[in-house]
Amino acid sequence: MSAPPDAPTIVERAQAVADSALFTGAQDVDRGLTSPEHGLRALAAAGMFGIAGPTSHGGSDLDPHSARRVIAAIGSGCGATFFVWVQHLGVTRSLRTSPNTELVDALLAPMCSGELVAGVAFAHARHVGAPAITATRGDGGWRLDGRAPWVTSWGLADWFCVAAESSTGELVWSMIPASAPNGVTPTPLDLPVFASTGTVALTFEACAVPDRLVVAIEDAAVWRATDRVRAAIGQSAVLGVADRAIRLLHQSADAADVASRLGEELDAIWMRDDALVDAHHDDDIEAAIASASDHRAACLDLARRSTTALLAATGGRGMDLAHPAQRLAREADFYVIQAQTADGRAATLRSI
């Protein structure tokens, strides 16, 4: 197996694919006129499906700083394609640490190559209270019942990793095949952005999952505490949206000064992002979460102001659905709620 390219090369390759293969058709993909599949194939060919995977299974095991820059780069190209692709990364991260070695050996390498695409259903697990999806122990496996209100990549992914909670407070993570899944019913969601991402609500009724498809079982309370820290920094794709808007602003003669000022803000935000990724917060978790959440709010604000500036500089034609200005503005708004936690919501509201 050949050695993976170094991190700067992967980041540069991600931006090149975003510019050449994703951005040019992004308006049509966003509206559902074409599928994200072309962009996903381009990302697979460039090695982007394996950035979160181990080298032992064909991944590039990318460091967190570079991974966040790859995410931003791909987010700058086509938000809909990005949103399908990024679900896959989360499953790759979960699978690489699974104790189920047979499942890892069967799925991880083809996932790192992009031969298999995975989606995930877990946002509901962030909510404390009655589980949205229950996991009941049965003979040789688990029974899933309930409803996942937000699942992306239906009709595009080959497998879905589903989180369900047992009566004893365990989170059971299992892989569900997308082809004729037993006891799973999708309900499409009508979204104002990312229409082609196959985003649905999934209803589970006596969905049987054998033990051979269980990725992991962990304490739900421990997972929520860890997730609260991990999710606080937010999605770096929103910085890709800001970057794309700023680059387009540079093409407008009367917006050059604004573009330069926003570009300087973007550079400063990336410095802050790097510092937060490196931060050790064992002593004061609450302060670390607050700091990361405020950073998330600042990223959202920069994307909003950058896309608003692009609309102003573009004028009325920027509202044409074939123009990127209106799409980028809608994408900036979408990231306000994407992976939003209570901490992120509070920080965003404080920033207004």
Whether residue 239 contacts residue 304, with contact meaning beta carbons closer than 8 Å, is answered with no
Neighbours of 259 (CB within 10 A): 21
Range of the domain at 308: 232-351
Judgement on whether residues 187 and 212 belong to the same structural domain of the protein:
yes
Residue that is last in its domain, among 218, 247, 267: 218
| For residues 282-297, average pLDDT | 91
202 with 237, same domain?
Answer: no
Last residue of a domain, one of 92, 117, 142: 117
Total count of domains within the chain? 3
Interhelix angle 342-351/285-314, nearest 10 degrees? 50
Structure confidence by residue, pLDDT tens digits, 75-100: 999 999 999 999 999 999 999 999 99
Residue 223 domain-assigned (yes or no): no
Segment 304-318 shows an average pLDDT of 97
Q: What is the reported pLDDT for 128? A: 85
The residue that leads in pLDDT, 180 or 332, is 332
The percentage of the chain sitting over the pLDDT mark of 70, rounded to a whole number, equals 97
- Residue 226 domain-assigned (yes or no): no
Q: What does the block give as tokens for 151?
A: 């699942």
Residues 189 and 250 in one domain: no
CATH number at residue 167: 2.40.110.10
Q: Are residues 346 and 245 in the same domain?
A: yes
Do 73 and 184 form a contact (C-beta atoms < 8 A)?
A: no
Q: Which residue shows structure tokens 């550079």?
A: 267
CATH code for the domain of 292: 1.20.140.10
The per-residue pLDDT for range 112-135, each reduced to its tens digit, is 999 999 999 999 999 888 999 999
Residue 275 lies in a domain: yes
Same structural domain, 238 and 345: yes
Quickly list DSSP for 21-77: IIGGGHHHHHTTSS-THHHHHHHHHTTGGGTTS-GGGT-----HHHHHHHHHHHHHH
* Tens digit of each residue's pLDDT (9 = 90 or more) over 318-335: 999 999 999 999 999 999
E strand spans, 55-121: 118-121
User: In the listed set 58, 85, 117, which residue is the last one of a domain according to the structure?
Assistant: 117
